[in-house]
């Protein structure tokens, strides 16, 4: 089985950017942790990060469609990208939405996710560990199929 982990805009700066909100670990560290989990549970992990909306959509169409599950942090696009929402809806692959921060405890404009209604589920507020939670949710979905 294969899981695509897709990180949206500005997440390449994780560990450098707003550390009080997002923590001081890097994106590489999140990916390394998920790689180890993948090895342990015999799942092929594929990683991508993009700051470009269209690229995220292409990744969902190509890599996402051939994956068994997608773990997606759409970052700021969460709140307004109907194009990414439509891409999530268009592919058959279940998509788990992840946010490091608790988006409901932050500015009002972050309270709404246009992705959530088309996602399999959402993890928000648990920092780096949220990706691990999403991994096990994905594993569970893959096993149940
Ligand atoms: C985020 C939350 C978004 O509101 C924000 O724009 C991000 C990161 C999170 O992981 O907490 O860039 O998706």
Residue 107's domain comprises 2-144
- Residue 72 tokens read as 């997606």
Query: Does ligand 1 lie within 6 Å of residue 105's CB atom?
Result: no
Q: Report the C-alpha gap between 126 and 105 in whole angstroms.
A: 12
Q: For 89-111, how does the pLDDT look when each residue is reduced to its tens digit (9 = 90+)?
A: 999 999 999 999 999 999 999 99
Number of domains within the chain: 1
104 labelled catalytic: no
Q: For 27-63, how does the pLDDT look when each residue is reduced to its tens digit (9 = 90+)?
A: 999 999 999 999 999 999 999 999 999 999 999 999 9
Other beta carbons within 10 angstroms of residue 61's beta carbon come to 13
- Look up the CATH number of the domain holding residue 67: 3.40.50.9100
Catalytic residue among 7, 77, 99, 131: 99
Q: Name residues whose C-beta falls within 8 Å of residue 52's C-beta, 6 or more positions apart in sequence.
A: 9
**Model pTM?**
0.98
């Amino acid at each position: 089985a294969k899981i695509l982990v897709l990180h949206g805009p500005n997440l390449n700066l994780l560990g450098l950017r707003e550390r009080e909100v997002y923590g001081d670990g890097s994106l590489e560290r999140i990916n390394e942790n998920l790689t180890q989990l993948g090895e342990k549970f015999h799942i092929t992990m594929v990683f991508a990060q993009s700051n470009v909306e269209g690229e995220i959509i292409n990744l969902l169409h190509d890599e996402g469609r051939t994956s068994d599950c997608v773990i997606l942090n759409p970052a700021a696009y969460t709140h307004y990208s109907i194009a990414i929402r439509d891409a999530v809806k268009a592919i058959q692959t279940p998509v788990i939405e992840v946010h490091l921060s608790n988006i409901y405890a932050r500015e009002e404009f972050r309270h709404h996710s246009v992705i959530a209604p088309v996602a399999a589920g959402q993890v928000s507020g648990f920092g780096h560990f949220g990706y691990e939670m999403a991994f096990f949710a994905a594993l569970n979905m893959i096993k149940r199929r």
